[in-house]
Amino acid sequence: MITLNAMSQKDYDTYLSTAVTDYAGEKIKAGTWTEQLAFQRASEEYQILLPNGIETPDNYFYRIDHNETKVGVIWIAKSTDNPETAFIYDLQILKQYQDQGFGKQALKLAGDEALKIGFKNMALHVFGSNKRAIHVYRESGFKVTDINMEKKLSKE
């Protein structure tokens, strides 16, 4: 059985130790940031979003557990665009637990938690190259609201 459990400070520290680097890597892969600036920009964004770390108001961090074994993490927060919307900043399922339905189950539980907190909607961002996540989100009822697109320019 999947459960969401509030992260401890130790869980948060472990999460943060890889989250900034992972985010920087995704921004590089997407072509949004250069390698030279990615880690610095990712660090700055996390500092802006989480000035008080795990204690930052309106941010909710959970371990995703399966039978008391950690299989992932999820971070939701009050949307900066709409206070009635919970925004999923991060959902990670550990590699060895992927493709077992844990992401979909975690999204359902996160929605239940968001309702308990008082949110009416849930939103997220997904990198266009992340086909696995896009599939899970669509299967979980998320709809596309915005699409950013980019094209490499050449003189040909």
Closest to 97 (Cα-Cα) out of 133, 72, 62: 72
Question: Per-residue pLDDT tens for 47-87?
Answer: 999 999 999 999 999 999 999 999 999 999 999 999 999 99
Give the domain extent around 105: 2-139
CB 59 within 8 A of CB 50: yes
Query: How many residues in the chain?
Result: 156
Q: Is 109 within 8 Å of 102 (Cβ atoms)?
A: no
pLDDT of residue 47: 97
Q: Is residue 93 part of a domain?
A: yes
- 85-93 and 121-124: which strand pairing? parallel
> In the numeric block, which tokens belong to residue 121?
């909607």
Give the chain's count of helices (H) and strands (E): 4, 5
In a domain, 151, yes or no: no
Query: Domain holding 129: CATH number?
Result: 3.40.630.30
Q: Phi/psi zone of residue 53: left (φ > 0), alpha (ψ -120 to 50 degrees), beta?
A: left
Partner residues linked to 121 by β-bridges: 85
Residue 57 lies in a domain: yes
- The per-residue pLDDT for 12 is 97
* Residues lower than pLDDT 50 in the chain: none
pLDDT at 127: 87
